[in-house]
Amino acid sequence: MNIVNSNLSFRSTLNWGNNPEVVVLHHAGAKVCSIGDIHRWHLENGWCGCGYHYLVRKDGTVYMGRNEKAVGAHCPGYNSKSIGICAEGDFNVEIMGQTQYSALLELTRSMLSKYGINKIYGHRELYSTDCPGENFPLDRIRNEVAGGSGRLVYPGYLIKMNPDLKDNNVKAVQEKLMSRGYSVGRCGDDGFFGGGTLEAVKRFQRDSGLAVDGIVGINTWNRLFG
């Protein structure tokens, strides 16, 4: 995926501490627009600048807006707990082309994996607006990301014991283990991979006929979430 650093200058200091739990999808409501256009429009709204974290253009190029760690300005109530992605175009009147769709899908997937989350919303599902337009391929994206089941996609790295690091993917593993009857110890699904979680992973692997190494790689992940 080609992500362009847009080097936008924001009017004042951004608020940091965005903690993504969902991805919110938008359209620009304009058939043609650059990240610079959006930045200017949002400055004119009196905001610090571009309120989205990413813009996906029709040619499939992805532009950085606000830093992912910065609180967004795209969906009241969700700005401090979401990644905001905008697609160039007006999908009340247009149909999204395949190049843009593929880039949007890949970006959305990578955000879900990065943050260990699985919820995708269209702006209109969270706020009174018609954004991202009635032709926006919201269900298609959800179905492709989730395989139709809402399951989490494997994040692409080995999830191992590390009692000092909080990780949403560890929390997801713990929740899943517990829902399948494997206790992860007294701390529960706290997102820290300690001894209790290690033993639970090993028990699950043993019961599932997997290699018993206490590490959640793609096979263990898929068996757990599949």
Residue 53 binds Zn ion (CB under 5 A): no
Least distance from Zn ion to the Cβ atom of residue 105, Å:
18
User: How are strands ordered across the β-sheet holding 54-56?
Assistant: 3-4, 62-64, 54-56, 82-87, 22-27, 119-122
Pick one of 123, 142, 171, 176: the residue that binds Zn ion (CB under 5 A). 123
Strands in the chain per DSSP E: 3-4, 22-27, 54-56, 62-64, 82-87, 119-122, 162-166, 192-193
Residue 39 binds Zn ion (CB under 5 A): no
Least distance from Zn ion to the Cβ atom of residue 88, Å:
13
Residue 131 binds Zn ion (CB under 5 A): yes
DSSP symbol at 123: G
By CB under 5 A, which span of 123-131, 147-155, 187-195, 218-226 interacts with Zn ion?
A: 123-131
Nearer to Zn ion, 10 or 127 (CB): 127
By CB under 5 A, which span of 19-27, 142-150, 165-173, 197-205 interacts with Zn ion?
A: 19-27
By CB under 5 A, which span of 38-46, 103-111, 126-134, 193-201 interacts with Zn ion?
A: 126-134
DSSP symbol at 111: H
What are the backbone dihedrals phi and psi of residue 30, each rounded to the nearest 5 degrees, phi first? Answer: -140, 135
d(CA 19, CA 80): 6
Least distance from Zn ion to the Cβ atom of residue 26, Å:
3
Nearer to Zn ion, 26 or 53 (CB): 26
Residue 26 binds Zn ion (CB under 5 A): yes
d(CA 75, CA 79): 6
Q: How far is CA 30 from CA 86, 125, 185, 218, 226, in A?
A: 11, 20, 52, 40, 39
Residues of this chain that interact with Zn ion (CB under 5 A) are 26, 123, 131
